[in-house]
Structure 1
Amino acid sequence: MREKIIQKSAELFLTLGFKSVTMDDIANEMAISKKTIYVHFANKTKLVEAVTFEVFENICEGIDGICNTSLNPIQQLYDIKLFVMHHLRNEKTSPQYQLKKYYPQIYQRLHLKQFEKMHDSVKESLQKGIDTELFRPNINVDFISRMYFNGMTGIKDDTYFPSELYTMEYLMESYLEYHLRAIVTQKGLLILNQFITTNQP
């Protein structure tokens, strides 16, 4: 039952927002009593916390799978972008922004875990790109990895990139191209241009 509650809550939070979904809403959607939810979660904050880290773990598993099977680091980044876009396809409410505003402590913990995960996998990917001569040999792998994380999380901030001006797909696509153009070699640029052409909406 705990897993079912997390699953349904994740669906509602990502679609309607952390703030607007109440425990009553979740109970009604699942046709169970609110007491049943409280057996597993002491309060809404505990439920939000469980949902947040469950979604994070699911995304991490998917990204690990892509990292193990991608042909090259450029394809890997595009595959991860598609996976994340598909996973968050029902987002209507900028959940990261709401999490930061209404549950700052959970957001801080999530942000740190995201950084640790992304920093390691991006560094590995950058090094692979250098080894295969797709990325410039003189780039600072640690610095670029930190910059990439900063940019990818920054574009999700509705304050600076309002959703009425930019879709998340546009932001991710544009930032990915911006990032890769700065580090590719001539050989890498040929592959990048192929992906840009095939990913044009």
Structure 2
Amino acid sequence: MRQEIIYKSTELFLNLGFKSVTMDDIASEMGISKKTIYVHFPNKTKLVEGTTMHLFELISHGIDCICQLNKNPIEELFDIKRFVMEHLKDEKSSPQFQLKKYYPKIYATLKQKQFEVMHECVNENLKRGIDQKLYRTTINVEFITRIYFNSMLAIKDTDLFPLKIFSMNMLLENYLEYHLRGICTNKGVEILNQFITKNQS
């Protein structure tokens, strides 16, 4: 039952936001009593923490699997973006920004975990891209890794990028292109253009 509660809560939180979904909403959606939820999660904060860490583990595992395929580094980034979007349901409620606002301790823990996973993944991606002559040899790998992570967090700020104007998919698509055009060699740009054309068709 614990896992079922996590699955349903994750779906509701992603679609409607951490703030607006109540324990009553979750119980009603699942056709169970609120007491049943409290058996597994003593309060909403614990439930938010449980769903957040579940989603993090799920996405981290998926990203690890994609990275292990050793694909072309540019293709790898597009695959990761696609995978993340599938699991975050286009972030209609901007969950990460809500988490920062209403559950700062959970957000801080999640941010640290995300940084550890992303740091390794992006670092390896950049090094392989340089080796394959797709990325410029002059880039500072550690700097790009950190600015990439920070920018990924920044585009989820709904004050800066209101969801009415920017969908999360559009933001990620545009940022990925922006990132790659800044580090690609001519050979890399050719491959990037192929992916952009393919995605648009």
Name the structure 2 match of 1:122: 122
Q: Structure 2: how far apart are the matches of 1:189 and 1:92?
A: 31
Give aligned-pair identity as a percent: 64
CA apart distance, 1:127 = 0.4
Q: Structure 1: how far apart are the matches of 2:92 and 2:135?
A: 35
The answer to whether the Cα contact below 8 Å between 2:90 and 2:167 also exists between their aligned partners in 1 is no
Name the structure 1 match of 2:2: 2
Task: Report matched runs for 1:45-194 at 5 Å.
Answer: 45-89=45-89, 91-194=91-194
Q: Structure 2: how far apart are the matches of 1:12 and 1:70?
A: 34
The TM-score normalised by the length of structure 1 is 0.96
CA apart distance, 1:70 = 4.8
User: Segments of 4+ in structure 1 off by > 4 A?
Assistant: none
Q: Structure 2: how far apart are the matches of 1:165 and 1:61?
A: 31
Q: Structure 2: how far apart are the matches of 1:146 and 1:55?
A: 22
CA apart distance, 1:86 = 1.4
1:36 maps onto 2:6 in alignment: no
Q: Structure 1: how far apart are the matches of 2:88 and 2:70?
A: 21
CA apart distance, 1:53 = 0.6
Count of aligned positions: 201
For 1:106-158, what per-residue CA distance to the aligned partner results, in whole angstroms no more than 9, with x for missing partners? 11111111111101110011001111111111211111000100111110110
RMSD: 1.2
The TM-score normalised by the length of structure 2 is 0.96
The answer to whether the Cα contact below 8 Å between 2:91 and 2:168 also exists between their aligned partners in 1 is no
